[in-house]
Structure 1
Amino acid sequence: MSQPIEPRPIAAAPRQTMEERYGVRPPRHRTLTLGAVAGAAAVALGWLLWVAWIHATPDVRGELRSFSVVSEHQVDLVIDIQRTQGASVLCMVKAQASDHVIVAEDEIEVPLGEAGNLVFEATIETEREATSVTVTDCRYEALRSWRLG
């Protein structure tokens, strides 16, 4: 029979600590890095909260109260508008047909008036009969740059 093999000792490599192997960074560098990262994160979070607040509380809001189809090419609508200033307001309105094709897209201008809530009635012309109407956005007229074209 064969003899059992006895384990041989492995040549022991000298043990090194992590500091001996890789060196130690001065703690000041680590503190400055963590401080810079924390500062950048605080600035980014502050900006994000500011943007969220601005978009959650617009200066002017428009909401469709009702609409009625007058004819195949005309729709009357009533818009509830809330504005914080008395400036004139532009509201973008879209009308769709039963097959979801946009049959009218128009800007409705609400003239100067007092700040607060108001009800505004308007009429839009359509290419064919509309089955739904939507107020997509309302802005102060001074901010016309939101429009394309």
Structure 2
Amino acid sequence: MTTQDMLDERYGRRRSPARAWLIGAGIVVAVGVVGLFGWFTVRGSLNSVDSDTTSFEVVDEHSVMLGFQISNPPGAAVACAIEAQDEEHGVVGWRIVELPASDLHARAFREAIPTTALATTGFVNSCWVLPG
């Protein structure tokens, strides 16, 4: 009899095979949850679109020319919401631009934004992959 067995007998502790199975099952479930979380994270980032505003030019009080670049999954069509604001950060113009699918990962564009008043800035609000 080992020392551990003598201590277990003295203090009434028993080693149960059911407890070992329960601990093993808990570890398997925890590994599964971590793996599932990792897969959802990777899957979400595969269809993400990154955008950066590279330039803007106030043409007149009725339009702004916006330069921007996007990084998206190759072969996916993308839509971007572009926006122009005045000096008080009020939206004075916006539009949705649909960009065709391409084999390139990164592309640059210049688009005009019609405005209702004089704008002081233009930027890309958000971009997303179009279904299909």
TM-score by length of 1: 0.64
Deviation string, structure 1 residues 95-119 (Cα, Å, up to 9, x no partner): 3222222233321112344423322
Query: What one-letter code is carried by the residue in structure 2 that aligns with 1:121?
Result: R
| Residue 68 in structure 1 maps to residue 57 in structure 2 | yes
Among 51, 57, 68, the residue aligned to 1:79: 68
Question: Quick one: which amino acid aligns to residue 84 of structure 1?
Answer: P
Amino acid across the alignment from 2:121: S
Give yes or no for contact 2:68–2:108 (8 Å, CA) kept in 1. Answer: yes
Gaps of at least 5 residues in structure 1 are 1-16, 144-149
Alignment CA distance shift 1:127-1:29 (3 Å): farther
Partner of 2:7: none
Matched with 2:4 is: none
Provide the residue aligned with 1:51 in structure 2: 40
In our comparison, the structure showing a higher alpha carbon Rg is 1
Aligned residues between the structures? 123
Task: Judge conservation of contact 1:94–1:135 (CA < 8 Å) in 2.
Answer: yes
Matched, 1:118 2:107: yes
TM alignment of 1:2-81, pairs within 5 A: 19=12, 27-58=16-47, 60-81=49-70
> Larger relative CO (CA 8 A, sep 6+): 1 or 2?
2
Query: Identity percentage over the alignment?
Result: 28
Q: Which residue of 1 aligns with 2:129?
A: 140
Q: Give the aligned CA root-mean-square deviation in angstroms.
A: 2.7
- Residue 84 of structure 2: aligned partner: 95
Kept in 2, the 8 Å contact 1:110–1:120? The answer is: no
Give the structure-2-normalised TM-score: 0.71
